[in-house]
Amino acid sequence: MRGKDGILAAGLLAWAACSGDAAGSNPSVDALLAPQVDAATTDAGTPDGHTAAPCTIYDADAGIADGPVARYESPEAILDDTTVAPAIAAVQRLAAGAGFHPSLGSSPTDITGTWTVPSGTVVATSTGAQVGATLAGSVARVKPVAQCSALLEEDGVASVNGMQLTTSVTFVYLRGSGQDYTTLGITAGTCTVQGSHFMYFLANIVVGQKKANGTAPYDALLITLATEGTLTTACKNALLGTLQQPGEWALVSATPTLSP
């Protein structure tokens, strides 16, 4: 390989974007900070019979301080976010993104299990950079969130040539109908390459279809919502270059296999 390894970890999208020769120079990236689930009451309702409060997704900056990303009480709240909505509109104006339409259907197919993503492709980006880049594979385990049946938890690991590069934990809302599915969630990550401490917060929206042959091809839109810390040269080289500033986005596609 020649050049640099760019790292991207976002739920089902725990990928490393590779181009060029970087033997022995893979950057080190901390495990992602997990967006937290807030469920003061469960879906089953409260002990006194009142209607349960909706589950929310929010980041907690690893418990250090309140983070820069709002609480999201529903998938609609993610779609209506003032950074997310313009990014979706921009994607849909492109020929490559004309078919990207997140669903809010209430009867999605079951997508729990192990997702094996052999590789992916960058379809479009907000900056025009890295279009066509190949993304290395990942494995993610998707399971229900115990305290909130409205959410799924995605635990992913990305690796190149057997070397683990990133891990991720993402919470998502699942929507869709029939075999069509949409997940809408938030991922938080941190880069500490060579002493850096750069945090990034992504919205990720995955639109796909579960096939009878065991695959579940999808397009996924990743949007940077906020960042914290200084973007050092080391982190800039380590992270996927189109997701380093708030408002930047990347549309990627992949055909994973899904097993129980």
What's the pLDDT tens digit per position in 179-190?
999 999 987 777
Beta bridge partners of 144: 152
C-alpha distances out from residue 119 to 45, 181, 193, 197, 251, Å: 41, 20, 24, 28, 14
pLDDT of the residue at 51? 42
Percent of the chain with pLDDT over 70: 67
| Mean pLDDT computed over 4-8 | 44
pLDDT, mean of residues 153-178: 73
pLDDT-based confidence at residue 194 (cuts at 50, 70, 90): confident
Instruction: Tell me the helix, strand and coil percentages in the chain, rounded to 5.
Output: 15, 45, 40
Q: Degrees (nearest 5) of the Cα angle 223, 142, 225? A: 15
Q: Is the pLDDT of residue 18 over 80?
A: no
Tell me what the pLDDT averaged over the chain comes to: 76
Q: How far apart are CA 28 and CA 239, in angstroms?
A: 11
- Report d(CA 133, CA 17) in Å as an integer: 7
Average of per-residue pLDDT across 15-31? 35
pLDDT beyond 50 at 132: yes
Beta-bridge partner residues of 220: 206, 252
pLDDT digits (tens, 9 = 90+) for 200-246: 788 999 999 999 999 999 999 999 988 888 888 877 766 667 788 88
- Lowest-pLDDT range of 6-10, 124-128, 173-177, 231-235: 6-10
What pLDDT sits at residue 104? Answer: 96
Least confident of 101-105, 110-114, 231-235: 231-235
